[in-house]
């Protein structure tokens, strides 16, 4: 969840470089922030409550240093206060730590350290780490003390540690992302690649249970065994400009608009590899689709596509619930994990369960080299480029495109499936124009003050109704719920009153008549019907036209709802890129 950034190199403005890097990571946490650097052999700190994006480097001079670490926080342990902001230091200010994740045994460690006389100034689990390192350092070197402390920590974490009188950074991770950017005689360490893209595209990945000592160059070790680990430098193909807003006011709008291109990129895969993976699905003794949040809704939609297109049953399980289904797994089972970041903690735990059972894992992910990528037997990269808005948009439709293509490949119709998706991408290109956005903005103005709204869909568009509700909740803060159209009369229709907005997601398929009848039931109770459909219908009070895309209807139907959520957020004076209480990559359980 939180953002971590560090710099080590010849430049003496390390603090400024770290602040700039943290600003690019603000989507991961924006409750508070801080940086630490060495000054006169001790640690000096700058910590603030609020968003680092509001910090003006021109008006706030940061002392010179050639090494610094920083953190933007999404609160887990302890409230949003300056005392709880990272970095945390020991009592002598010899050490500083920044940390992403949760230390599950911090209470027992804290009690142990308090008995030794250590005083805690925050409510965080992170402060336990820095005091633990300081305690071991009384008898050991910095590196040995850090390794001893790491071996005692339980839970998922990524962290950086510095010592005031040593020109080195120690980085370590277990279950939370941390990546090293390799520059010209300088090094960057971050939670996410876009943070240092402007400096370098060369990276080194830190794997679970590894620590890295960064001084003249990175030295990798397994912190459990102490064994040195050899690593290679990998060059990534993202451009720095792809992680910037450009002329757009918000990343969310930029990323919605990019769907003109990202679906093309998603389906530009090696046909032989897709056919091989289709064979893996056909030969599997049980196929499970897993994901969290939006990715779970993508999996749900895919289950309908595999049924309709490939006449094949696949299981869908929310990532956090997957361990409870492990008794169904066999060595011949296949788990298909879907994620944008490839770092979602609950999905990673599900993969660990699958691997323990001997099952194969296929990951559908956006971030090449992510933990899921490296853990999986197979991976399909959706190639959407950096997605920085918290609410997923372009990654969602790219994931849907990949799974649609796989469903067709399972039925021996890969070429037909790719043609459908190419045609759909072309129609989306025509659809996403200024007049279309103005039409949706006008709708947002009509309904911006409502307290609740509902979304209905049927078959493959039922999961898209659920996803639509997530988008509306995330950024507009309007109470929104998605339902299967046929379920309304079993209870939810009691929620409808005069003027209640209800979006009906309509496809021009065998479900069309049923979902229009469901919409009529809502209208008869006073509901305001917003039709998302290829053609206008009498029941609609407001029509948002979408292309007739056949089995790709979930892709075209979700895009206007993304736009509606965006415009509602802006009209309600919310920041759609940074919704309250949420962060981009959910790397804690």
Q: What amino acid positions are annotated as catalytic residues?
A: 2, 584
Cα atoms found within 13 Å of the Cα of residue 235, Cβ hemisphere only: 3
Residues 6+ apart with CB under 8 A from 267: 401, 402, 405, 418, 421, 422, 425
62-81 burial, b at 16+ Cβ within 10 Å, e below that, comes to beebbbbbbbbbbbbebeee
User: Which of these, 475, 500, 471, lies nearest to 488 by C-alpha position?
Assistant: 500
Task: Find out whether 156 and 587 touch, Cβ atoms under 8 Å.
Answer: yes
Closest by Cα among 200, 195, 151, 147 to 171: 147
CA distance 239 to 141: 40
Rounded to an integer, what distance in angstroms lies between the CA atom of residue 367 and that of residue 376?
13
Local structure of 140: helix, strand or coil: coil
Please, what sign has the CA dihedral across residues 254, 259, 263, 264? Answer: negative
């Amino acid at each position: 969840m939180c953002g971590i950034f560090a710099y080590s190199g010849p430049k003496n403005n390390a603090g400024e470089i770290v602040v700039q890097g943290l600003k690019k990571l603000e989507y991961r946490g924006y409750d508070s922030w801080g940086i630490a650097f060495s000054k006169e052999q001790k640690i000096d700190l700058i910590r603030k409550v609020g968003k680092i994006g509001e910090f003006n480097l021109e008006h706030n001079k940061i002392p010179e240093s050639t090494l610094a670490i920083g953190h933007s926080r999404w609160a887990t342990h302890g409230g949003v206060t300056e005392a709880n902001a990272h970095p945390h230091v020991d009592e002598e200010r010899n050490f500083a730590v920044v940390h992403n994740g949760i230390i599950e045994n911090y209470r027992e460690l804290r009690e142990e350290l308090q008995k030794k006389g250590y005083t805690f100034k925050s409510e965080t689990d992170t402060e336990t780490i820095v005091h633990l390192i300081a305690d071991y350092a009384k008898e050991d070197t910095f590196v040995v003390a850090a390794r001893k402390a790491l071996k005692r920590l339980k839970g998922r974490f990524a962290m950086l540690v510095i010592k005031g009188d040593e020109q080195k950074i120690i980085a370590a991770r277990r279950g939370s992302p941390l990546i090293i950017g390799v520059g010209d005689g300088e090094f960057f360490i971050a939670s996410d690649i876009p943070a240092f893209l402007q400096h370098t595209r060369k990276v080194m990945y830190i794997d679970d249970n590894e620590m890295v000592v960064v001084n003249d160059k990175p030295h990798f070790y397994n912190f459990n065994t102490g064994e040195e680990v050899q690593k290679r430098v990998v060059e990534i193909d993202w451009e720095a400009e792809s992680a910037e807003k450009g002329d757009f006011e918000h990343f969310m709008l930029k990323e919605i608009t990019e769907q003109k291109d990202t679906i093309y990129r998603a389906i530009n895969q090696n046909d032989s590899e897709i056919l091989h993976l289709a064979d893996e699905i056909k030969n599997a003794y049980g196929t499970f689709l897993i994901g969290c949040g939006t990715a779970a809704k993508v999996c749900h939609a895919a289950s309908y596509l595999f049924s309709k297109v490939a006449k094949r049953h696949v299981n869908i399980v929310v990532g956090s619930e997957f361990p409870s289904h492990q008794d169904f797994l066999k060595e011949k089972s296949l788990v298909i994990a879907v994620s944008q970041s490839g770092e979602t903690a609950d999905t990673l735990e599900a993969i660990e369960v699958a691997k323990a059972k001997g099952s194969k894992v296929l990951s559908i992910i956006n971030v090449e080299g992510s933990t899921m990528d490296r853990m999986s037997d197979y991976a399909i990269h959706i190639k959407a480029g950096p997605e920085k808005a918290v609410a997923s948009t372009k990654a969602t439709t790219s994931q849907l495109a990949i799974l649609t293509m796989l469903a067709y490949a399972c039925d021996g119709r890969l070429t037909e499936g790719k043609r459908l998706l190419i045609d759909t991408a072309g129609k989306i290109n025509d659809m996403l124009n200024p007049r279309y956005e103005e039409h949706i903005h006008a709708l947002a103005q009509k309904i911006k003050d409502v307290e609740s709204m509902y979304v209905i869909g049927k078959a493959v568009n039922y999961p898209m109704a659920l996803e639509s509700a997530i988008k509306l909740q995330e950024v507009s803060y309007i109470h929104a719920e998605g339902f299967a159209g046929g379920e309304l009369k079993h209870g939810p229709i009691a929620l409808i009153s005069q003027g209640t907005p209800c979006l009906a997601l309509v496809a021009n398929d065998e479900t069309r008549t049923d979902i229009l009848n469901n919409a009529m039931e809502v209208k008869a109770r006073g509901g305001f019907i917003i039709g998302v459909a290829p053609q206008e219908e009498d029941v609609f009070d407001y029509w948002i036209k979408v292309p007739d895309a056949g089995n790709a209807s979930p892709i075209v139907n979700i895009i206007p709802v993304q736009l509606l959520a965006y415009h509602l957020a802006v009209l309600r004076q919310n920041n759609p890129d940074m919704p309250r209480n949420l962060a981009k990559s959910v790397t804690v359980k």
